[in-house]
Amino acid sequence: MLVDLDYFFAQAEETRNPAIRDKPVVVCVYSGRSEDSGAVSTSNYLARKYGVRSGMPIFMAKKKLENVDAVFLPVDHDFYDEISRKVMDILRTYADSFEQVGVDEAFLDVTQKTERDFEKARKLAEEIKDDVRASLNLTCSIGIGPNKLIAKIAADSQKPDGFTVVKPEGVQSFLFPLPIDRLIGVGVKTKEKMQSLGINTIGELAAYDARKLTSVFGKRLGSYFHNAALGLDDEPVAEKGEAESVSRISTLKQDTRDMSFILSKTDQLCDEIYSAIQKQQLSFKAVAIIAITTDMIVHAKSKTLENPTSDMEIMKQVVKELLAKFLSETQLDLRRIGVRVANFSKEQSTQKPLTSFIEPAKSD
């Protein structure tokens, strides 16, 4: 599935100031050259009704919202990044494998989790939507499909708060009527070129002679367009770079701040994480807890170890420390608790890496 947050920057602004929710909200990148020079980053759906679009000059957006009680705000990337991290922390826990793309989007491979059952996937997606709304007061749009390409197009096809499921047998009837620029990789220029060949819909692209297509667009792109138009895609969902982590999160049987009660849950989560990372022979160097208090605020506390380890007792011990620290800082009960380990290295090294002599252990 692909999860995409709705009008992300503007929605983030609404969460910190709910009073603006029923007004057009426009988030802007001010260039600083003159008062209104710069471009619109994004806007809420109310502003979009007036014709405001991402990338539009600010003065034009102001013109569209003349005599309307609208809110114009400067971008605050630190704030959006913080919310993005919290969202991704939640989403990650629902996936067999997870791939964040951009600040407000992620692919979740849920093949195993749902046993390839699209009805189970539908229920899981509903759970995810409820979870993101309850924890962070944000809506998102979700697309479910047999591969990443279809999931992405499905997610784009209904917004905001959208939900679109495309089963394998429904792929072609979903895709074929769509205009070609809904296909990932078809921009303005490609669209014009295809239109000059008489191709206007994805169905027409699928029916177009594959050899002719490669003679126009080259071998690589031509065969991509041909396969994509047929809904074919086999790219795996894979977390890129070093950000990889494994996490599990769970709702407590009751709201509580009882240490031993919570620890019995985190121990269980640690066991699950341990079996997941053991299979891949990974050592970890960072441990975090994710705590959602009864006010639905998501807190994360993490600690970086001096050396990578694959020892589950260390994992549990650090979780205990972090939990004790967190509980000493809040008066509230916990509603949900999660554990995350990260900073993996492949070898089960017992030897101290050189860096451990330079880098002191830090906790944040």
Q: Which two tokens stand for residue 155?
A: 């997610």
Is position 131 an interface residue for Mg ion (rule: CB under 5 A)?
Answer: no
Instruction: List for the chain the helix, strand, coil content (%; round to 5).
Output: 45, 25, 35
Q: Please, which residues bridge with residue 43 across strands?
A: 26
Q: How far is the CB of 88 from ligand TTP (least distance, A)?
A: 14
In terms of CB distance, is 55 or 187 closer to ligand TTP? 55
Please give the DSSP secondary-structure letter assigned to residue 158: S
Is residue 4 near ligand TTP by the rule CB under 6 A?
yes
224 binds, among Mg ion, ligand TTP, none (CB under 5 to 8 A by kind): none
Per-residue interface string for the shown chain with Mg ion, residues 71-110, x marking contact by CB under 5 A: ---------------------------------x------
Strand ranges in 6-70 using DSSP code E only, listed in sequence order: 25-30, 38-43
Is 6 one of the binding residues for ligand TTP (CB under 6 A)? yes
Q: Return the closest-CA partner of residue 12 out of 74, 70, 93.
A: 74
| Minimum CB distance to ligand TTP smaller for 5 or for 292 | 5
Q: Judged by CB, which is closer to ligand TTP: 101, or 361?
A: 101
Of 82, 85, 157, 160, the residue at the interface with ligand TTP (CB under 6 A) is 160
* Interaction partner, residue 170 (ligand TTP, Mg ion, none; CB < 5-8 Å by kind): none
In the chain, what is the straight-line distance between the N-terminal and C-terminal CA atoms, in Å? 32
* 41 scored as a contact of ligand TTP (CB under 6 A): yes
Q: Per rule CB under 6 A, is residue 104 in the interface with ligand TTP? A: yes
Reduced to 3 states, what is the DSSP secondary structure of residue 105?
strand
Q: CB–CB of 204/198 below 8 Å?
A: yes
- The token pair at 21 is 């929710």
Stretch binding ligand TTP (CB under 6 A), from 4-12, 13-21, 64-72, 130-138: 4-12
Using CB under 6 A, pick the residue from 1, 2, 3, 7 that binds ligand TTP. 7
**CB nearer Mg ion, residue 5 or residue 228:** 5
Helices 210-217, 188-196: crossing angle, 10 deg rounding: 130
Question: Which of the following is catalytic: 13, 14, 99, 105?
Answer: 105
Among 8, 224, 326, 344, binds ligand TTP (CB under 6 A): 8
- Whole-number Å distance between alpha carbons of 190 and 70: 36
105 is a catalytic site residue: yes
CB 230 within 8 A of CB 173: no
Q: Which does 41 bind (CB under 5 to 8 A by kind): Mg ion, ligand TTP, none?
A: ligand TTP
Determine how β-strand 71-74 pairs with β-strand 25-30.
parallel
Phi/psi of residue 22, nearest 5 degrees? -95, 20
Nearest in space to 293 (alpha carbons), one of 247, 329, 342, 265 = 329
Contact region with ligand TTP (CB under 6 A), list: 2-10, 130-138, 263-271, 339-347: 2-10
Crossing angle of helices 118-136 and 77-92, in 10° steps, is 140
Query: Contact positions toward Mg ion, by CB under 5 A?
Result: 4-5, 8, 104
Query: Contact positions toward ligand TTP, by CB under 6 A?
Result: 4-9, 41-42, 54-55, 103-104, 159-160
Which residues are known catalytic residues? 105
